[in-house]
Structure 1
Amino acid sequence: MISKTFKIACAGLVAAAAIGAGAYVAHRPDGATDHAPAATQSAAATPVVPVTAAKVLQHDVPIVLEGLGTVTPINTATIRTQVQGTLDSVDFVEGKQVKRGDVLARIDPRVYEAQVDQAEAALARDEASLKNARTNLARTRPLANRGFATQQLLDTQDSQVTQGEGTVALDKAALEAAQTQLSFATITAPFDGVTGIRRIDPGNIVHPTDTNGLVVLTQLQPIAVIFTLPSGEIPGVRQALASGDASVDVYDAQNKHKLDHGSLMLINNQVDSTTGTVQLKASFPNAGNTLWPGTFVNVHLTIAIRHDALTVPLTAVRQGPDGSFAYVVGSNNVVSIRNVTTGQSRDGQVLIEQGLAANETVVTAGQYRLNPGTTVEIVPDDKKDQVQDATTASAGMLP
């Protein structure tokens, strides 16, 4: 007799075997079953990674050097008087444009007019004396030739003429000096520019030694910008300056809005050894007065045009142990790694010197999930939020 306990144990073993065998049974669509191993069916396919991508563009690329500069007037002057006197009038309006030769102020001229009158009178007197001396010499010379006048008398009258000529010349110089002093009583603009704040009022006594002067005159059109670049850029800039290829654009302090376009004037003749930089000076027409003296600006100096150059978005280039690289998408949407050599980067684009070809497709976002051989799905820009970004992943926002 088989015991009841043994029967129960055997039934349990049979049930366990049946359950184990069930793990190998798979139902087909037609109702039949396949007895394939479950491990084979559970192997999932590698998921497709969504990325954004862009083509490698081939076009002309300007080679641009960027530096920080200060707007500096080409001409600026503190207008001072050159003579002492009472300031009669101020003939300019503060902050307004004036032309070269326009009257800015007038000083009481009476003292200097009197000096001119004195010089003119002295000149007239001495010219009359000279005329008389010449007349006497003209009368004496024929008499001396015939022996009716001594040689001593002839020599004396000749020296009187010479002395009179010297005196007249001296009087003319004195008259010219007096007229110059009188002209200083009228202060005029030395160049076209804009006046600043008036520093003295009519009725005050002004002196040539006054520190502040009357007003500061600043030329705004054209205007200059002095900026700095690393000294290593000097050879390229010199070549561009010699060939006439150098052109300069100036942007505001935020480096967003273009203010003016101009030309490079010169490279300073010394490098600052403490910073390793050199100063450069550029000129701008400033027709709209967008450049104001003393403001800081960003300068973009174009020194060459690289024809048929290759560029990709800056986000396509990554850094690895062996240098820069990019993920290239093949025709079957499988990516591969390509080492690249880069040049300048600006406006969100980087110049590719080596490693890529025109019209190839490179991944611009989603690289952190890629490996060589990974299959990707390129999503359009309107769905780029589907692409998992490394920045958010590092913040713990992605699985």
Structure 2
Amino acid sequence: MSEAPAIPTKRPRRGRILILLVALVLIALVVFHLLHARAPKPVVAPQVVTVARVTTGPMPETLNELGTVTPVATVTVLPQLSGYLTAVGYREGQEVQKGQFLAQIDPRQYEISKRQAEAQLAKDNAALAQARADLARYSQLNERKSIAQQTYADQQFLVQQDEAAVKADEASIAQYVLDLTYCRITAPVSGKVGLRLVDPGNYVTASSQPGIAVITTMKPTTVEFTVPQTALDKVLQRTTAGAQLPVTVFSSDNAHQLATGTLYAINNQMATATGTVTLRAAFANDDERLFPNEFVNVRLLVDTLQNALLVPTSAVQSGAPGDYVFLVNPDNTVSVRKVALGPSDGQHTVITAGLAAGNTVVTDGLDRLSDGVKIKPSAARAATGATGASGASGSSGASGAAGAADARAASHSRPASAPASASAAS
């Protein structure tokens, strides 16, 4: 019998297929897990910021304006007659008193004219005496009907003519006396003399320019400044009630306080071109720190708000929704809070709506904040901490809401993310 051929088995091939299927399932599970697994959230560190509490205290309401030192009197001394200037009796920059000698015009021609007038007066007085004596004789003759009535009347008229001539001579003499007085030029007001305008030896004429000298009253002096019509009503209310509004003047760079005075005059018309009205304040200026025509910064104290809500000015931001602050929540997150602003003194700003006493706001580190951001508060600086009320009351002046906004815009840039957050919050 022959042997049957061997039949090959298929079991190893099936095993490989099963292993391949298991591997594919495992790979699919791994891919599915990788695709649907959630990425771990990055841990964001809290922002370190400076905070301060909302306090209450007094806040001065002031107006900050640009002013000009305007002297009480500026007088250009002009000659009132013609002649050669023979002497100058002042020193440039000298303080002079009213009536003090300044210059002398040659008086000789006016003295000669005065003597001629006096001689004419003597002649006319003699003619008047003769006419009066003749009138007395004519009066007796007229009573006796010894002369014509016309002769007596003519003599009466002659006496009146001579009396008029005497009065004209007396007036001429008075005029020459006045001319001699004008030859001696004196100071019409007290003040400081400017630089010399004419030297001795020059021929001057009546009202010739530029004059003999310019005298400016240094003390007391005044400062003129303008306020907008929107702020005029409060000023009028205070002045009508009899209040003496204090005015403080600072140098043009606001680096030094120059003088303090009081408001004493308000112009009677509004400037239609600018919508402002001119005010004038008086100053003693005993130290002469206010120089005529100098530009100065004027701070007018209108009123003082009591128990006002105060926040550091650095905490107030401006954006698309308006004015807002970053309010610190109990869980150390911040939220955007819109606020209404009142007066400011540069260091603190009054909040009229949007906050309450005791709230905490962010004052520094606002550039990367947005609504809901986690923060880490740090200690507030002493200048912007709990001493806010005393700082506001100790300030000699404050600006209005518009001035505070300008100060904030100049010193604090608006965060890029804040407007969007503020809009979402509002």
What TM-score range do you get, normalising by the shorter chain? 0.7 to 0.9
Would the aligned equivalents of 1:48 and 1:377 in 2 still touch at CA under 8 Å? Answer: no
**Two-structure CA RMSD over aligned residues (Å):** 3.7
Would the aligned equivalents of 1:48 and 1:376 in 2 still touch at CA under 8 Å? Answer: yes
Tell me which residue corresponds to 1:194: 192
Give structure 1 stretches of 5+ with no counterpart: 1-5, 10-38, 395-399
Q: Distance in 1 between matches of 2:235 and 2:412?
A: 39
Q: What does 1:53-68 align with in structure 2 at a 5 Å threshold? A: 53-68=51-66
Q: Does 1:322 align with 2:321?
A: yes
Q: Distance in 2 between matches of 1:49 and 1:143?
A: 127
Q: Once the two structures are superposed, what CA deviation does each residue of 1:94-138 show, in whole Å capped at 9, x if it has no partner?
A: 001101110101111111111222222222332333333334334
Which amino acid is the alignment partner of residue 185 of structure 2? Answer: I
Tell me which residue corresponds to 2:249: 250
SS in 2 for 1:81: coil
Tell me which residue corresponds to 1:35: none
- TM-score for both structures, normalised by structure 1: 0.77
Tell me which residue corresponds to 2:407: none
Tell me which residue corresponds to 2:109: 111
Tell me which residue corresponds to 1:79: 77
Would the aligned equivalents of 1:228 and 1:278 in 2 still touch at CA under 8 Å? Answer: yes
Q: CA deviation at 1:80?
A: 2.2
Which amino acid is the alignment partner of residue 291 of structure 2? Answer: W
SS in 2 for 1:307: strand
Tell me which residue corresponds to 1:21: none
Q: Distance in 1 between matches of 2:140 and 2:55?
A: 102
Q: Once the two structures are superposed, what CA deviation does each residue of 1:329-381 show, in whole Å capped at 9, x if it has no partner?
A: 46676655432110233322222222233444332112343534845423243
Tell me which residue corresponds to 2:371: 371
SS in 2 for 1:288: coil
Go from structure 1 to structure 2 and tell me whether the alpha carbon gap of 1:321 and 1:81 turns closer, same or farther (over 3 Å shift): closer
Go from structure 1 to structure 2 and tell me whether the alpha carbon gap of 1:165 and 1:344 turns closer, same or farther (over 3 Å shift): same
Q: Distance in 2 between matches of 1:238 and 1:142?
A: 79
SS in 1 for 2:259: strand
2:204 to 185, 206, 209: 206
Aligned length: 360
Q: Once the two structures are superposed, what CA deviation does each residue of 1:198-225 show, in whole Å capped at 9, x if it has no partner?
A: 1222222222353222222211112233
SS in 1 for 2:92: coil
Q: CA deviation at 1:297?
A: 1.3
Q: CA deviation at 1:44?
A: 9.4
Q: CA deviation at 1:160?
A: 1.9
Tell me which residue corresponds to 1:362: 361
SS in 1 for 2:269: strand
Q: What does 1:1-399 align with in structure 2 at a 5 Å threshold? A: 49-208=47-206, 210-243=208-241, 244-264=243-263, 265-267=265-267, 269-273=269-273, 275-329=274-328, 335-367=334-366, 368-369=368-369, 371-372=371-372, 374=374, 376-381=376-381
Name the structure with the higher strand share: 1
Go from structure 1 to structure 2 and tell me whether the alpha carbon gap of 1:333 and 1:204 turns closer, same or farther (over 3 Å shift): same
Tell me which residue corresponds to 1:32: none
Which amino acid is the alignment partner of residue 249 of structure 2? Answer: V
Q: Distance in 1 between matches of 2:358 and 2:136?
A: 102
Would the aligned equivalents of 1:57 and 1:310 in 2 still touch at CA under 8 Å? Answer: yes
Seq. identity, %: 36
Would the aligned equivalents of 1:272 and 1:278 in 2 still touch at CA under 8 Å? Answer: no
Go from structure 1 to structure 2 and tell me whether the alpha carbon gap of 1:139 and 1:376 turns closer, same or farther (over 3 Å shift): farther
Would the aligned equivalents of 2:131 and 2:158 in 1 still touch at CA under 8 Å? Answer: yes
Q: CA deviation at 1:150?
A: 3.7
SS in 1 for 2:302: strand
Q: Which ranges of 4 or more aligned residues in structure 1 deviate by more than 6 Å?
A: 42-46, 389-394
Q: Distance in 1 between matches of 2:372 and 2:319?
A: 14
